[in-house]
């Protein structure tokens, strides 16, 4: 048994074996680095890492939710439609504002077939102007179902203001 162990020790301590093991060692180090770089590359390209790390870091640094800036810009585009002289733009702004609120409630987790059902599930403590929002939604339905519905600029501004207050109460922006 000692002969076998001593022969192995001679083989492993020889110069050729040391060089062979060194080559094998560097080969495996190279393969490991290749896979490590591949993993890092794939993590950077995946949205999971962006969501888990980048968005949380940004929220921590700016003290606001991650998508607030984009959400605010989208809302400003809706409000900009009220600067037009066309009633069609006013109506479009109300339709988009209603959809904006509906999508927001979906993202928060309120379920239902439409905005009306989602609003009925809300507590007035969450949105204090809930009755006004329901009236604004009725204006939206009038626009959709009656193409000849007459909408003034002042009424459109009032409806947009109601939706904006509801979104502020939900802390969207």
pLDDT top residue among 78 and 59: 78
Q: Poorest-confidence range of 4-13, 22-31, 40-49, 98-107? A: 4-13
DSSP letters spanning 105-162: HHHHT--SSSHHHHHHHS-TTTSTTHHHHHHHHHHHHHHHH-TT----HHHHHHHHHH
User: Tokens in use for 18?
Assistant: 């040391």
The answer as to whether 102 is a domain residue is: yes
Domain extent for 124: 68-169
C-beta of residue 96 within 8 angstroms of C-beta of residue 78: yes
* Shared-domain flag, residues 104 and 34: no
pLDDT in tens, 67-83: 666 778 888 899 998 88
Task: State percent of the chain over pLDDT 70.
Answer: 88
The answer as to whether 109 is a domain residue is: yes
* Shared-domain flag, residues 76 and 158: yes
Highest mean pLDDT among 4-8, 151-155, 157-161: 157-161
Q: Poorest-confidence range of 52-56, 155-159, 162-166? A: 52-56
User: Would you state the pLDDT for residue 67?
Assistant: 61
Long-range CB contacts (within 8 A, 24+) of 80-87:
82/153, 82/156, 82/157, 82/160, 87/150, 87/151
The answer as to whether 58 is a domain residue is: no
Domain CATH for 108: 1.20.120
* Shared-domain flag, residues 150 and 84: yes
30 pLDDT above the threshold of 80: yes
CB neighbours of residue 117 within 10 Å:
12
Number of domains in the chain: 2
* Shared-domain flag, residues 40 and 72: no
The answer as to whether 60 is a domain residue is: no
- Alpha-carbon dihedral of residues 88, 103, 62, 69, nearest 10 degrees? -20
Largest distance between two CA atoms of the chain = 105
Helix (H) / strand (E) containing 30: helix 15-45
What's the pTM? 0.63
Using alpha carbons, list the distances in angstroms from residue 86 to 2, 18, 120, 139, 161.
100, 85, 33, 17, 19
User: Would you state the pLDDT for residue 28?
Assistant: 96
How far apart are alpha carbons 20 and 11 in whole angstroms?
A: 11
* Shared-domain flag, residues 79 and 149: yes
Band the pLDDT of 173: cuts 50, 70, 90: confident
């Amino acid at each position: 048994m000692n002969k076998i162990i001593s022969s192995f020790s001679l083989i492993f301590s020889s110069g050729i074996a040391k060089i062979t093991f060194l080559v094998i060692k560097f080969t495996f180090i190279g393969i490991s680095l290749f896979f490590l770089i591949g993993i890092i590359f794939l993590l950077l390209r995946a949205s999971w890492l962006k969501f888990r790390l980048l968005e949380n870091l940004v929220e921590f640094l700016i003290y606001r939710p991650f998508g607030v800036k984009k959400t605010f810009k989208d809302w400003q585009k809706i409000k900009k439609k009220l600067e037009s002289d066309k009633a069609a733009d006013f109506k479009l702004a109300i339709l988009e504002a209603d959809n904006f609120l509906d999508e927001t409630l979906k993202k928060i987790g309120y379920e239902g077939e439409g905005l009306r059902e989602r609003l009925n599930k809300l507590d007035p403590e969450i949105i204090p102007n809930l009755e006004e929002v329901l009236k604004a939604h009725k204006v939206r339905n009038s626009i959709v179902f009656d193409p000849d519905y007459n909408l003034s600029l002042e009424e459109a501004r009032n409806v947009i203001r109601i939706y904006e207050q509801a979104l502020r109460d939900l802390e969207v922006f």
